[in-house]
Structure 1
Amino acid sequence: MKVRVLGCSGGIGGAQLRTTSLLVDHDILLDAGTGVCELSLAELTAINHVFLTHAHLDHIAALPLMLDSVADLRSRPLTVHACEATLESLRQHIFNGAIWPDFSEIPSREQPSLRFQPVAVGETVQIGGRRFTPVPADHSVPAVGYHLDSGAGSLVFTGDTTVNDAFWPVVNRIANLRYLIIETAFPRHEQELATVSKHLSPATLADELGKLERDAEIFITHLKPGQCALTMAEIGECAGRFKPEFLENNQILEF
């Protein structure tokens, strides 16, 4: 499997600041933030599945626009996989006929452009030999992370989360773990905001990584614009034996 980072920022503000979206091979998206705008029309048309971590705008912003751009170019529905609470948020607040057309009934209910598929923690979805398994996350809205397994190796993406004891036993059972992408949204001086919004800070990241029992390359995502250098410096000071790296746009991870 090959993962291309389309967006990994906690905000916008320039050519390199795109919100969360990862392209898996050529046909699957993991989240659909503004990073999706990096793709050409042909690349957008090739996407058949989207796995969402949660319903916050920075993770779904491009999904409605993508559907509108490619619906007439596709012969099959785009399948959106997410926990039921996330799907219900999309139905009620996005594809509701007021904010955006309901593509689950366009061009018809019998032949829609969009199909919703609920997922649950621990239940694997297999697509062409590739395995996608939701893993626990703890955020301000219902959320999951994902374990991607090619058979030869694995990548785990936490999505947005805070301190989460349920997450680490799952990760520690992955024998072929190669990459861990983990969020850290706020620097040290915004610890209170991180706690309230259920994100990690450098200190809580360090505590969480202390629960990791596997060797893996660790990448940090979701840093706030204007605070990336500060937050990464603070992570370097407290990460102990781990040496997390800054996840970058257009980075390729193969496993």
Structure 2
Amino acid sequence: MEIRVLGCSGGIGGMENRTTSLLVDEDILIDCGTGLAVVPFESLLKIDHVFLTHAHLDHIAMLPMLVDTVGDFRDKPITVHATEETLRILRSHIFNWLVWPDFSAIPDRDNPFLRFQTLAVGESWQQGSREIRALPASHAVPAVGYSLSDGAGGLVFSGDTGPCDALVDALNSMPDLRYFIVETAFPDGQHDLAMAARHLCPSMLSVMLDRLVATPEIFITHLKPGMSEQIVQEIVDKLARFQPRILENGQIFTI
């Protein structure tokens, strides 16, 4: 599997600040933030599956546009995989004929442009040797992370999460884990806000990583624009022993 970072910012502001979206091979997206906007039309046509961590706008912003753009040109629907709670939010608040058309009923219910598939924590989707499993996360709305594997090695993407012992336990059960992409949205000076919003700051991430038995390469994502320099400095100061790196647009992981 090849995982390419399309966007990894916690907000917008210039071409480099694109919100979360990862392209897996040519046909799978993990989240559908504004990073998807850089993908050419011909490549958009190849996307068959979208796995959402949760329903916050920075992770779903381009999903309505994706379906609208390619639906007429495909011979099968795009399948959105997410928890039942996330799918309920999409149906109620996005694809509701008010904010956006219900593409699960266009052109009709039997031949839609979009279909929804529930994926609960602990469940996995498999296609050939590729496996994507939903992992625990703790966020302000129901959320998951994802593990991706292709028979050897693996990558975990935390999605948006605050401190989550269950996620650490899941990581520790993966002896072949190679990469851990984890959010750190706020600096320590906004610790209380991070706790309220159920995001991480460097000191909270340090506590999580102290419990980690596995030894993956660690990449930090979802830094808030305008605070990124401060967050990076705190990561350097507080997490140096873990040798984390900042995730970058265009970065490619192979597993």
What secondary structure is seen at the aligned counterpart in 1 of 2:85? helix
The answer for unaligned runs of 5 or more in structure 2 is none
Structure 2 partner of 1:39: 39
Amino acid at match of 2:215: D
Structure 1 partner of 2:196: 196
Structure 2 partner of 1:13: 13
User: 1:52 aligned to 2:52?
Assistant: yes
Amino acid at match of 1:104: S
Decide whether the 8 Å contact of 1:206 with 1:240 is kept in 2: no
CA distance in 2, matches of 1:198, 1:189: 15
Structure 1 partner of 2:128: 128
Structure 1 partner of 2:224: 224
The answer for unaligned runs of 5 or more in structure 1 is none
What secondary structure is seen at the aligned counterpart in 2 of 1:71? helix
Structure 2 partner of 1:81: 81
Q: CA deviation at 1:230?
A: 1.2
Structure 1 partner of 2:251: 251
Deviates more, 1:64-73 or 1:236-245: 236-245
Structure 2 partner of 1:169: 169
Amino acid at match of 1:187: P
Structure 2 partner of 1:236: 236
Deviations 1:97-123 (A, max 9, x none): 000000000011110000100001111
**Identical columns (%):** 55
CA distance in 2, matches of 1:13, 1:241: 31
Decide whether the 8 Å contact of 1:162 with 1:198 is kept in 2: yes
Amino acid at match of 1:209: L
Q: CA deviation at 1:241?
A: 2.1
Q: CA deviation at 1:240?
A: 4.9
TM-score (norm 1): 0.99
Amino acid at match of 1:140: A
Structure 2 partner of 1:103: 103
Structure 2 partner of 1:144: 144
CA distance in 2, matches of 1:129, 1:75: 24
CA distance in 1, matches of 2:214, 2:124: 21
What secondary structure is seen at the aligned counterpart in 2 of 1:101? coil
CA distance in 1, matches of 2:144, 2:4: 20
User: 1:211 aligned to 2:208?
Assistant: no
CA distance in 2, matches of 1:228, 1:16: 12
Amino acid at match of 2:200: L
Amino acid at match of 1:126: Q
Deviations 1:119-160 (A, max 9, x none): 011111102320000000000000000010111110000000
Amino acid at match of 2:76: R
Q: CA deviation at 1:5?
A: 0.2
Amino acid at match of 2:86: T
Q: CA deviation at 1:236?
A: 1.5
TM-score (norm 2): 0.99
CA distance in 2, matches of 1:206, 1:233: 14
Q: CA deviation at 1:237?
A: 1.0
Give aligned pairs, total: 255
CA distance in 1, matches of 2:193, 2:251: 29
Amino acid at match of 2:16: Q
Aligned CA RMSD, in angstroms, stands at 0.7
